Amino acid sequence: MSTPEPKIVVTSTDMERLRTLIDTTSGDQAEALDAELLRAEVVEASELPPDVVTMNSRVVYRDEDTQETREVTLSYPKDASLERGRVSVLAPVGAALLGLSVGQEIEWQQPGGKSKRLRILSVTYQPQAAGETH
């Protein structure tokens, strides 16, 4: 049994850029991101709480099954780099992190039917909170 999907918050700028990305990308990852965005509350950057994961945010999360923690930056595909800890928003974990806030948890099905559960522990950097809105 899966838990209900948590509420997510996305800035209007991120929503616009991500819609463009989805429109120019095909495949399951774009469809999964599209499904996430359909349930998002859209806000202006000035209204965004500082503990929400936005594009280019640095976030610490814990895998609730393995208790392993990771710190990653949520990135656009062109900036993604596993070596630099930059996860693409089109990757399943990237799409899952988008719009969550500290303390929230999300569960999703992985290929092969196994589920994965993550909890947001902290947002160590958020562009909007740092005054970077471009």
The full length of the chain comes to: 134
Task: Give the pLDDT confidence of 80-89 residue by residue, as tens digits.
Answer: 998 999 999 9
Helix axes 28-38, 12-23, angle to 10 degrees: 150
pLDDT tens by residue, 27-43: 888 998 999 899 999 99
Name the token pair of 30: 């774009």
Whether the model pTM is above 0.95: no
Phi and psi angles of residue 17, each rounded to the nearest 5 degrees, phi first: -65, -40
User: In the prediction, which pLDDT does 1 show?
Assistant: 43
Q: Which CATH code is given to the segment(s) 8-125?
A: 3.10.50.30
Helix (H, G, I), strand (E, B) or coil at 96: helix
Structural domain boundaries in the chain: 8-125
